[in-house]
Homo-oligomer: A and B are copies of this chain.
Amino acid sequence: MHVLVSYDIVDNKTRTRVMKHLKNYGQRVQLSCYECDLDESMYQQMKEGVEQLIDKKMDSVRYYRLCKGCLHNVIICGWGEVREDEGFEII
């Protein structure tokens, strides 16, 4: 499955730890967004790792699972890496 992870993390050290953690699971596509191709257990493992790192009152992490159809409709304006499995339109 394909997952977009988007986060707002206040503390710099926490943010760095989360970034290092997410790097094991996917590709950074924007400053605070990663796109990951994962099976269910890796997905759970990723989430559990993030959950242990963040301050749930201060920080926010959103996970968007993207089906093939939605993945194919990703549109990028400006710089941005297009992943081979994404349909894309650069405007």
Contacts and interface: CB of A to CB of B under 8 A. Distances in A.
Copy number in this complex? 2
A62 to B, nearest CB: 6
Q: How large is the interface on A (under 10, 10 to 19, 20 to 34, 35 or more residues)?
A: 35 or more
B60 A79 contact: yes
A66 B65 CA distance: 9
A69 B1 CA distance: 13
A61 interface: yes
Contacts of A31: 8, 32
Given A66-B70, A67-B67, A91-B47, A61 B78 contact: yes
6 tightest CB-CB pairs across the interface, nearest first? A63-B75, A65-B73, A60-B78, A61-B77, A59-B78, A56-B78
